[in-house]
Amino acid sequence: MDDFNPPTRLLMGAGPSNIHPRVANAMTAPLLGHLDPDFLGVMDDVREMLREVFQTKNAATLPVSGTGTAGMEAALVNVLEPGDTFVIGTNGYFGERLAEIGRRCGAEVVTVEHPMGSPVDPDAVKARVASLKRVKAVAVVHAETSTGVLTPLEPLAAIAHEAGALLVVDAVTSLAGVEFRADAWGVDVCYSGTQKCIGAPPGLSPITLSERAIEVMRARKTKVQSFYLDLTMLQDYWAQRVYHHTAPVSMIYALREALRLVLEEGLEARWARHAHSAAALYAGLGAMGLAIVAPEGHRVPSLTAVRSPDGVPEADVRKYLFAHHGIEISGGLSELAGKVWRVGLMGHNSTVSNVLTFLSGLENALAGQGFEVAAGAGVAAAQRSVRADLA
């Protein structure tokens, strides 16, 4: 069998995204045993930097070995027991996944449903929580990856805590790409993924738990249903060095380097870079006559869902971009399948140059489907947006 030499792609979908050369290089470092003293130092570095990125002082902050869905499952199996009431503000595909995992934990799942493309309404969640006797946890997706909608967290934290419940947050597409402050906002359990705004390959899911959440775990009447995702045992490995599983050493090297890059840039500067790139993208899409799913004021800069124009097969546009420009973007999920493109500007990839490359390719792809726009209109509008931001 021949060697595998993968082609170079510009990954502008919902993840993974391209990584910085320093991150790729970190993965080639010599392997160490997962209990080697030098590797334990790497683990300490990762935990310290994750706390900074989450903006938390939580002792229980670590990367789960697995992708974002592993983090989602870890968050729920550790705090939910059979019969617990679990309220979720759903407004897209990944909110529904939270609900499904909650059901598999044996919880009584109550969904407060919203249309795809709308943020979660705290008043609707508050009314539903108030109608229930005792709620164990309230959950929300901070940045819904299926729509690019951003939901404010502080009002939901207040609602959860007033009811004596935990706030569980999915920050897979938001962490390190948009403002996020776990402690200041009252987030009790939060998980993310490494392959998006953090800028590492897929395979780890950073998670953090407040002391309030740890107390809930300690008070469990039943064992955590998953041995692999039992955070009491994982915390023992990361903090006390008690063997639990063989950690993915090279992935943790990569995460360490990605976190170094995040903090070298500075969180606020990184958030601003993502916003700057997204503003250029929005301007370009608008000039091309394309509509964005998320309403203004509730758009996550790292992921934009764009409606395909009437009569334009969205899959054909994606295929054209892939075949002729080496650009990968994502299609829609759930009820938006076949109706939208999802364009990612995450981590190392969130640059104006990538926006301009994408808009130029998109213009060609649309023209091939008979949807004409003024030549260079999208690129020109994006450039004007950049100049306005810099003025």
pLDDT (tens digit per residue) in 295-349: 999 999 999 999 999 999 999 999 999 999 999 999 999 999 999 999 999 999 9
Burial of 58 (0-12, 13-18, 19+ CB in 10 A): buried
Identify which of 177, 214, 189, 192 has the alpha carbon closest to the alpha carbon of residue 348.
Answer: 177
Q: What is the mean pLDDT of residues 354-368?
A: 97
| Residue 55 and residue 182 in contact, taking contact as beta carbons nearer than 8 Å | yes
Average pLDDT value for residue range 95-102: 97
pLDDT band at 390 (very low <50, low <70, confident <90, very high): confident
List, for residues 34-78, the tens digit of each pLDDT value. 889 999 999 999 999 999 999 999 999 999 999 999 999 999 999
Mean of the per-residue pLDDT values of the chain: 96
Q: Residue 236 pLDDT more than 80?
A: yes
pLDDT of residue 240: 81
pLDDT score recorded for residue 30 = 97
Q: What is the mean pLDDT of residues 193-214?
A: 98
Query: What integer pLDDT is reported at residue 71 of this predicted model?
Result: 97
pLDDT single digits (tens) 134-182: 999 999 999 999 999 999 999 999 999 999 999 999 999 999 999 999 9
Question: C-alpha distances in angstroms, 14 versus 4, 18, 146, 270?
Answer: 24, 11, 8, 19
Average of pLDDT values for 94-104?
A: 97
| Residue 318, pLDDT score | 98
226 within 8 A of 72, measured Cβ to Cβ: no
Contact between 340 and 293 under an 8 Å Cβ cutoff? The reply is yes
Q: Is the pLDDT assigned to residue 238 strictly greater than 90?
A: no
- The identity of residue 255, as a single letter, is L
Domains of the chain: 22-264 (3.40.640.10), 267-390 (3.90.1150.10)
Written as six digits, the tokens of 311 are 């009569």
Beta strands in the chain (DSSP E): 10-11, 60-65, 85-90, 108-113, 137-141, 143-144, 149-150, 166-170, 189-191, 204-209, 303-307, 327-328, 330-331, 340-344
Percent of the chain's residues with pLDDT above 90:
94
Cβ–Cβ < 8 Å for 112, 90: yes
Residues in the chain: 391
The pLDDT of 110-139, averaged and rounded, is: 97
How much is the CA Rg of the chain, to the nearest whole Å?
A: 21
The DSSP output letter for 53 is H
pLDDT greater than 80 at residue 391 = no
Helix axes 93-104, 68-79, angle to 10 degrees: 40
Give the confidence band of 389 by pLDDT, cuts at 50, 70, 90. confident
The secondary structure of 353-384 as a DSSP string is: HHHHHHHHHHHHHHHTTT----TTHHHHHHHH
* Banded pLDDT at 377 (limits 50, 70, 90): very high
Q: Which helix H or strand E contains 217, and what residues bound it?
A: helix 211-218
Burial 197-211, CB ≥16 within 10 A → b, else e = bbbbbbbbbbbbbbe
Closest to 220 (Cα-Cα) out of 355, 77, 18? 77
Among residues 105, 119, 161, 113, the alpha carbon closest in space to that of 137 is found at 161
Residue tagged 């993840």 (tokens): 15
Quote the pTM value: 0.96
Two tokens at 97?
């996944």
Q: What is the pLDDT of residue 241?
A: 82
